[in-house]
Structures are given as C-alpha cells and as structure tokens.
Copies of this chain bind each other. A is one copy, B any other.
Amino acid sequence: MQANSNYLESIGQRARAAARKLARLSTAVKNQALLNIARALEESQGEILLANRRDYQAGQHAGLTEALLDRLMLNRERLAAMAADVRNVASLPDPVGEQFDVHTLPNGLILGKRRVPLGVIGTIYESRPNVTVDIASLCLKSGNAVILRGGSESIHSNTALSRLVREAAAAAGVPEDAVQFIEDTDRALVGQMLSMREYIDLLIPRGGAELIRRVAQEASMPVVTGGIGVCHTYVDRTADLQKAVDIAYNAKVQRPTVCNALDTILVHMQIAPQYLPLIVQAWGQAGVEIHADSRAMSILGPMESPRIIPATQEDWGKEFLSLTAAVKVVDSLDEALEHIERYGSGHTEAILTEDYSAAMRFLDEVDAAVVMVNASSRFTDGAQFGLGAEVAISTNKMHARGPMGLRELTSYKWTVLGSGQVRT
C-alpha cells in the first residue's frame, strides 16, 4: 500500500510538472503530436492487436459476457477508426489562448479573458480501450495533462496504447508525462486516486452507474457527473402523429445501449388512442419490449406480436440501456412535467408537440442538460452538437452542462492591460 501510494504520488507530481509545460505548447506542436499518434496507431497495429488478444482471451477465460467482450475487442477497423478520431481532434480549433469578452473600461484598462487549460484531468474508465486514446487526445489538444486509470480487463491493450501515445507525442515535443496510464491494477489505487485533489483538477468517470456514483461520492476533487440518462419523450395532445412515431422510434431503436436513448414515453391521454398502437407496432417490429402502465395497457388491449408487460414502479426513472421502453399515459402537460421532475436524471428531455405554448413551457420548466422540441433525444452528443468530439455528457450544473468538448476542458484567466492606473 505504501509503495502504491508513493507510486500514485509520483504520477501526480509528474502530471503537474507536465501540465505546466503543456499549457504553453503551441497549437502546431500539439497537432503534430496528434498526427504522430494517429500514424502510430496505423503502423503498430500488430503489436496492439497482440496485447488486445491477451485481454480478450483472459476475458473469455473469466467468462465475460459477449457484450463486454465486444467492447473490449480491437481489430484493424477499430484501430483505423481510432486513428481517424485522433486526426479529427487535430483538426479542431485549439481553445487555449483564445482571448474573449475583451472591452475597455472607462478608466482605460483593457479587460478580457483568456482561455487556459484546467491543469490535470483524471479519468477512470471501464473496458473499452479506445477511451485511452480518445481522452488522451482531447486532453492533449486542450493543454491538459491526464492520468488514466482503465479497467483490469483491458490492462494489456491500455498499456500498449498509452505507451504508443506517450512515445508518439514525445516525438513532437510534448512532455511524456502529459499522458500517464496507471499500469498497476490494484483496486486500492482507485480510492487513492479519488483523494488526490492536490494533483487532479477534474475527474471524469466513464463507465457504468456504479462507478459514476462511487466517484461522485468519494472524489475529493470536482467530478463530471454524467453518463446516466433517464430520458423521457413526452407526446403532447397536439403532436404530429407521424413525426412522433419517427422520433420515438429513432430515440429508442437507433442505438439503445447509450445514455441518450429513450427510456420512458409519456403520452397525453387525448392522443394515446391514436398514437400508442402506432408506436407500439413500430417498436414491436424492432423487438422493443414494452412496459406499459394500466391506462396504456387498456388502450392497447391484448396484442400478439410485441412483448408488452405491465409496468411496475421500478420502471419509472430506470435507464434501460436496451430495447426496452416504459410507457405511461398522462392527463396533461403538467403531469408530464411532474413525472420528468421526479424521475428524470437531468440528461435529455423532449416534447413532441405542435402547440407553441406547450413547447415554450416545456423548454422553460424542464430542468435538464438538454431540452428538445420535436427531435430525437439521440442528438445529445458532442459530435452532433458540432463540438467535434466529447469527453463526457455532464449532468452537473457547475462548470459545464451537457456535451463537453475541448472548450469545456478549459478555464480562463482575466487579463488586465493597464497604463499606470491606480484605484481611487
């Protein structure tokens, strides 16, 4: 334990030292480092796939589910996609150094803000080895040092990838310790990492609900709370039926395993008799299992094909991450708003309506990172929102909310250009 504590302490110190240098690197050097990483990913495929093979076999041996093995697995296509993502980050504007809100005060002081990196980012993540490269490249571009802690199931892949990243970045003049991966898989290190507020300015957990809750509770430093999306779509009395079917279908089916997928649909009682059979049929054809409240049940009646079971209390506020949807009939917009306030996770909430005032009330009153009118909740995403990439989707209200791109990994300093001014 003592050795481990020193181990992490040393990583923290080296990250701080690297962060100071990184903050002042030119955009050209950072971009060159990213291009080097992309090329190395292509040129070292054999080596990385070999390391990944060891993780995969260990995972098979340990009885990991097919889904987990699939998340763990790398192949030539996935490595090529990772390289493309890194090149994309290189192509994004550098947020660091941007001077903004500049104006001259009556006393002649030129006041402004200048964007600066946060310092050292820590991240704790599970299985998917692409997160190693993904987070490292976003931190590098935004001038932050990063300490990566991956899951033990992908230790060989992550070790190989992080070494590749360090070497490729160093070849461009980036300090090696800008990216550090914790190669020791001792579980006690997570608790120690969470206590390192002196060395880590922001902690980003990427993984399941349990990890995120633990980090939010234990971390001594600021944390991006996010990744848990209990997303409601409310089909208002006046919704356009066809749009409402298309949107709810897309929100549930297009990629059901992610945080911005639809979990519960709330349907106004006046439109439910027309709407419910349509969406249930569409979902049924895609294999969606439906958990319906009693009013929805009685509208739908006994149906053969889609799997419909009665909803229970646990269905409200549940993030399904699968082809399952909860369905509830509500009396009014007010009831929908109350349900969302009670069960939502503050991620993405949508209203489908042709009623202007209902749309405006929903935008106004729902307290969530993203509120939508007549669109699929699947759009809540850094790339879709035009940020180029994202490190996380924050459900915090402090600092950044919703998709976090490069800019959200920065702070600012005030700059004051004077010519001898004193305060009177």
- Taking Cβ atoms with an 8 Å cutoff, the residues of A that contact B are 20, 23-24, 103, 105, 109, 111, 114, 116, 118-119, 201-202, 222, 240, 243, 246-247, 249-251, 254, 341, 359, 363-365, 367-376, 378-380, 384-386, 397-399, 401-403, 411-424
B379, A398: Cβ atoms closer than 8 Å? no
B423 touches A119 (CB 8 A): no
Contact present for A398 and B398 (CB under 8 Å): yes
A359 contacts across to B, CB distance below 8 A: 417
Q: Among B201, B367, B415, B423, which residue has its beta carbon within 8 angstroms of that of A371?
A: B415
Which residues on the B side are within 8 Å of A243 (C-beta)?
419-420
What residues of B have a CB within 8 angstroms of the CB of A109 in the complex? 375, 379
**Min distance, Cβ A200 to any Cβ of chain B, angstroms:** 12
Cβ-defined contact, B420 with A386, below 8 A? no
- Cβ of A103: which chain B residues have Cβ within 8 Å of it? 386
CB-CB under 8 A from A375, the residues of chain B are: 109, 416-418, 420-422
Answer whether A423 and B378 are a contact pair too, CB < 8 Å, given A363-B415, A386-B105, A414-B401: yes
Given contacts A201-B398, A254-B422, list 20 more A-B pairs with CB under 8 A: A23-B367, A105-B386, A111-B386, A116-B397, A119-B397, A240-B420, A243-B420, A247-B420, A251-B422, A370-B416, A372-B416, A373-B416, A374-B419, A375-B416, A375-B420, A375-B421, A376-B421, A379-B423, A384-B423, A403-B414
Q: Given A398-B202, A398-B399, answer yes or no on A420-B246 (Cβ-Cβ < 8 Å).
A: yes
A414 touches B222 (CB 8 A): no
Query: Which of chain B's residues has its CB closest to A411's CB?
Result: B397
- State how many angstroms separate the Cβ of A12 from the closest Cβ of chain B: 16
Contact in complex: B118, A364 (CB < 8 Å): no
Task: Tell me if B374 and A420 are in contact (CB < 8 A).
Answer: yes
Give A413 to B186 CA distance when docked, in angstroms.
39
**Which B residues are in CB contact (< 8 Å) with A423?**
250, 254, 376, 378-379, 384
Given the interface pairs A367-B413, A371-B415, A386-B111, the reply to whether A201 lies near B397 with Cβ below 8 Å is: yes
Q: List 19 A-B contacts (CB under 8 A).
A: A20-B367, A24-B365, A105-B386, A109-B375, A243-B420, A247-B420, A359-B417, A369-B413, A369-B414, A370-B414, A371-B416, A372-B417, A374-B418, A374-B420, A375-B416, A376-B421, A379-B416, A401-B412, A401-B414
Asked if residues A413 and B368 are in contact (CB atoms below 8 Å), the reply is yes
A213 to B415, CA, bound (A): 27
Q: Which residue on chain B has the smallest CB distance to residue A376?
A: B422
For A116, give the chain B residue with the smallest CB separation. Answer: B367
Nearest-Cβ distance from residue A94 to partner chain B, whole angstroms? 14
User: In the bound complex, how far is the Cα of B372 from the Cα of A421, in angstroms?
Assistant: 11
- CB neighbours (8 Å) of A372 from chain B are 415-418
- Choice from B240, B250, B363, B414 contacting A114 with Cβ under 8 Å: B363
State whether B368 touches A222 (Cβ < 8 A). Answer: no
Kindly state the separation between the CA atoms of A40 and B374 in the bound complex, as whole angstroms.
47
For residue A366, which residue of chain B has the nearest CB? B413
Nearest chain B residue, comparing its CB with the CB of A254: B423
Which residues of B are found within 8 Å of A371, using beta-carbon distances?
413-416
Nearest CB in chain B: distance from A380 CB, A: 8
Q: How far is the CB of A72 from chain B (nearest CB, A)?
A: 26
Closest CB-CB distance, A393 to chain B, in whole Å? 10
A369 proximity list for chain B (CB < 8 A)? 413-414
Chain B residues lying within 8 Å of A370, measured Cβ to Cβ, are 413-416
From B24, B246, B386, A422 is in contact (CB under 8 Å) with B246
Contact between chains at A413 and B402 (CB < 8 Å): yes
A397-B118 in contact (CB<8A): yes
